[in-house]
Amino acid sequence: MSAPVLFFFAALAVRQDQTPVRAGCETGGEILANLPAGTPVEIRFRLADGSDCFKISAAVDGKDVTGYVTASALTGLEKFERERSAARSADNVRALHPVETETRKALARTGDATLDRAAKLLESNQPAQALELLEPAAKRYQNNPSVLVMAGVAAYRSDQLRAALDYWKQSLDLEPNDGLARIYERVKREADSDHSAEKLYGMRIALRYEGQALSSESARAILSALDQEYSRIAADLGCSSDERIVAIVQSRENYLRSTGAAEWSGGQYDGRIHISWTEGTQVGPQMRRALAHELVHACLTSIPSGERPWPAWLQEGLAQKLAGDTLKPSARLQLQQLATAHQLPQLENLRQDWSRLSIENARLAYNLALAAVDSLFENYSNYGIRNILNNPHRLRQIEPALDQKIGF
């Protein structure tokens, strides 16, 4: 998967006779079956990189076939567009960021070096160590809502949901906070619905999974893939952590129920990696790329971005590139045409959450993000992507230059 997958379970149909179902998204890939016009299909997921690739299942001559088709081969996708446009963002990372920022400012005013150290540990993606400092601090500052908020953040990112909810409830009782209240409700829903109890530990990853959704053998294969991909991505971007990244793998139903994500969502990163498992017993190329995509988000979280999160175009562009994606010639041509017509959005306008974008705008956003990151690697190789990430103020200086390289 070249980007987070968009899941959409609905019975649609094939538009034309002899529609090929392929083993992968690539044109010219192995044809598994040819479907007659009108054949009902179940959409398993759609890639969220803006491509036209769907994974579907269908019955052909009494046999089930699962493979990939293009969007143009299907009828009835309007519902997918409506659900995507109406969906709420489940991005707790961005939702938490302003809460954390204000909380850090409040903690700084206490002059307590322990609290300052805990905030820095959280910023460097070491929540378990931060929680060790914040648990006793929460008792000392039991009437300080900011300390309780930060203790909850550390517990949440350490995958201790009940402890996080307890700290946040105490904070909300002391001082109402609309942003925190919304996050509290999301996490409460997750804690009530998540039944992933089995655990495996790798070098870099702590995997929690549902034994009913996948076997221990599959779980070990996922853990191995996550460890391998993280090592590769960390070498490219320069991220590091003394703590394991939490990854949670669930069945589709429980993933949707616990995260509250829309039906088209199949993976997300909210301080922990969430994956809806659909690959049978093996970690195939598409799933491996999906894992790599989410690991890029986890990696970037451990690199301080300043007062604001890393812009969406950078996150999604890097996630695509380091998952192995390349910009298709048709996508590059579209960007060139839009640039010529002065209709290409500037990167400054692609900094925020993309969950409400239409399919067409999402396709454009992902393609533009990948083109921008390609240009970033091509034109700043001497300076180095790691140096840019270590100096986030440079990114704002670079954005206008990237706009020009792309076509402005």
pLDDT value of residue 8: 38
Q: How far apart are CA 323 and CA 307, in angstroms?
A: 27
DSSP string, 297-359: HHHHHTS--TTSPPPHHHHHHHHHHHTT----HHHHHHHHHHHHTT-PPPGGGG-S--TT--H
User: What pLDDT score does 92 carry?
Assistant: 54
Residue 108 has a pLDDT of 80
Alpha carbon separation from 11 to 17, 53, 266, 285 (Å, rounded): 18, 17, 18, 26
Please state the three-class secondary structure of 32-57 as a single string: EEEECCCCEEEEEEEECCCCCEEEEE
Q: What is the pLDDT of residues 155-186, one digit of tens each?
A: 998 999 999 999 999 999 999 988 889 889 88
Specify burial of residue 201 (Cβ count, 10 A radius: 0-12, 13-18, 19+): exposed
Please say whether the beta carbons of 320 and 369 come within 8 A.
yes
Higher pLDDT, residue 261 or 29: 29
Q: Would you identify the CATH topology of the domain 92-193?
A: 1.25.40
What CATH superfamily is the domain 5-86?
SH3 Domains (2.30.30.40)
Of 232, 366, 368, nearest in space to 295 by CA: 232
Domain boundaries, the chain: 5-86, 92-193, 198-301, 315-406
- % of the chain at pLDDT higher than 70: 85
DSSP per position, 261-307: --TTB-EEESSSEEEE--STTS--HHHHHHHHHHHHHHHHHTS--TT
146-158: pLDDT as tens digits: 999 999 999 998 9
pLDDT in tens, 34-80: 999 989 887 666 665 556 778 788 888 888 888 888 888 888 776 65
Q: Are 264 and 7 in contact (CB under 8 A)?
A: yes
pTM over 0.85: no
Is the pLDDT confidence value at 361 over 90? no
- Give the pLDDT confidence score for residue 139 in this predicted structure: 94
- Tell me what the mean pLDDT of segment 374-380 comes to: 91
Contact 226, 152 (CB under 8 A): no
Distance in angstroms (rounded) separating the CA atoms of residues 181 and 168:
8
Does residue 264 surpass a pLDDT of 70?
A: no
Q: Residue 237: is its pLDDT beyond 90? A: yes
Lowest mean pLDDT among 19-33, 85-99, 348-362: 85-99
Of 244, 199, 250, 251, give the one whose Cα is nearest residue 226.
Answer: 244
- pLDDT value of residue 9: 40
pLDDT at 347 over 70: yes
Q: Can you give the pLDDT at residue 272?
A: 86
Backbone angles phi, psi at 357, to 5 degrees: -65, 145
β-bridge partners, 245? 205
Give dist(CA 260, CA 88) in Å, integer: 9
Residue identified by tokens 């999160």 is 309
At residue 285, does pLDDT exceed 70?
yes
Class of domain 198-301: alpha beta
Cα distance between residue 159 and residue 261, in whole Å = 18
Higher pLDDT, 239 or 85: 239
CB 115 within 8 A of CB 147: yes
